[in-house]
Amino acid sequence: MNTFLWVLAGAALGWAAYAYLGFSEGRGKIASIVIGAMGGVLGGKMIAPMLTAPVPAAVAADFSMSSLVIAALVASTLLVVANLIYKRWDI
């Protein structure tokens, strides 16, 4: 359940960054959504376990608000970095 929410949050942030903030307009909406989704998974799977308290195995599949927040922050950071790279080098 957490992984689905991380992907959904990252994809929503990618869409919002494209639609409202104008990030990476030259690259396209799909690319922004994919970058956001990848950032959500990266943040939830790799970064959140390092920054939050360890969860016992019995409740590992339960919803974790802290990991969702970290996943959203990492997705936002990845979107900003991707936008800066696009502006600098047109990639």
Task: State how far the alpha carbon of 43 is from the alpha carbons of 27, 54, 58, 61, 87, in Å.
Answer: 23, 16, 22, 16, 24
pLDDT, one tens digit per residue, over 15-29 is 998 988 887 777 889
Residue ranges in the chain modelled with pLDDT below 50: 58
> pTM for the complete prediction?
0.86
pLDDT on residue 28 = 86
pLDDT, one tens digit per residue, over 48-57 is 888 887 666 5
Instruction: Look up residue 80 and give its two tokens.
Output: 């900003």
pLDDT on residue 23 = 77
